Amino acid sequence: MVVYDKGIRISGTRLHLDAQRVVEFSFVSHGHTDHLRSHRRILATAPTVRFHQLRGHRSEILQVEYHQPIEIEGMRVELLPSGHILGAAQIFIERRGESLLYTGDFKTRPAATCDGLEVRHADILVLECTYGRPEYRFASTEELLERLARFVQDCHRWGEVPLVLGYALGKAQEAVYWLNRLGERVYVWPEVAAICAVYREFGRDPGPYEVWSGGPVDEGVVVAPPHVLRTHAIWGLGSFRSILLSGWAVDRSAKYRFGVDEAIPFSDHADFDELLEFVRAVRPRKVFTIHGFEEFAAELRWRGYDAQPLEPGRDRWLL
């Protein structure tokens, strides 16, 4: 039996999957802060371990590379790329002739700064579905980059600093990479620079950048996490316009909700169509959905899958 209560535990073992409370032993799918806890022991890839330590967490480490099968408490366990950010992994578990794939956060579109998603057939799929509604369909990467380029060019034309906002881990490195390809001089917030250094450490250099020192920027683009808009430091840039990179930009109200001038749905999560595509590719017998709209499980049932959302406090037989 698997208990879902702020995380998933595999029956008969101590192994949790992305536990949201401190536990004895947990798989950590990636390095975003909402997935990091000071568990006594963690299972993760090397970059995720690095981010875990960078955030000040201390745990006993079981570090595993992609495609390196290991045995844990009677299970065969393997980590697979999820396409989300550097080091992000799915976990594939086999036990007693059945298999389970837990995605963590993922996307199917290729990323410039991390390994692409790998698909593996599994009997049971536990699926992150942040954007599990039909309205969350993202334009192609090429179209989104054209929109970003137009925004930057317009800012230069108007004499304003383009401020590109995205999560310090993952989205910011993608932004640095693509802005370099546009020929821009890139400045990054110190928080972003610390993460870029880890990307370089693991062979995923997003390209040249300078750390913003707090003064005006006469030429170039600044990449920063969204929370900087709530700081006084941001006014040291001088006159600027902001653009947010987020899947929530599909909502027309997004730029007003986040307090930015523009927003484009550049996301490190799968959109609605990608979620459906992934389920078709995995061919699961049973699907459990987490971290998203409960309606997505209903959508899957309508399409013929045995699917239901995982809810805190309810026990589910998975393996």
For 112-150, the pLDDT digits (tens) are 999 999 999 999 999 999 999 999 999 999 999 999 999
Task: Report residue 319's pLDDT band, with 50, 70 and 90 as the boundaries.
Answer: very low
CATH 3.60.15.10 domain locations along the chain = 2-135+269-316
Task: Report residue 312's pLDDT band, with 50, 70 and 90 as the boundaries.
Answer: low
Task: Report residue 310's pLDDT band, with 50, 70 and 90 as the boundaries.
Answer: confident
By percentage, how much of the chain surpasses pLDDT 90?
81
Question: Is 309 a residue whose pLDDT tops 60?
Answer: yes
In terms of CATH architecture, what is 2-135+269-316? 4-Layer Sandwich (3.60)
By percentage, how much of the chain surpasses pLDDT 70?
96
3-state secondary structure the chain: CEEECCCEECCCCCEEECCCCCCCEEECCCCCHHHCCCCCEEEECHHHHHHHHHCCCCCEEEECCCCCCEEECCEEEEEEECCCCCCCEEEEEEECCEEEEECCCCCCCCCCCCCCCCCCCCCEEEEECCCCCCCCCCCCHHHHHHHHHHHHHHHHHHCCEEEEECCCCCHHHHHHHHHHHCCCCEEECHHHHHHHHHHHHCCCCCCCCEECCCCCCCCCEEEECHHHHHCHHHHHHCCEEEEEECHHHHCCCHHHHHCCCEEECCCCCCCHHHHHHHHHHHCCCEEEEECCCCHHHHHHHHCCCCEEECCCCEEECCC
Specify the CATH number for 141-264; select among 3.30.450.40, 3.50.50.60, 1.10.340.30, 3.40.50.10890: 3.40.50.10890
For 19-48, the pLDDT digits (tens) are 988 999 999 999 897 778 889 999 999 999
- pTM of the predicted model, to two decimals? 0.94
CATH 3.40.50.10890 domain locations along the chain = 141-264
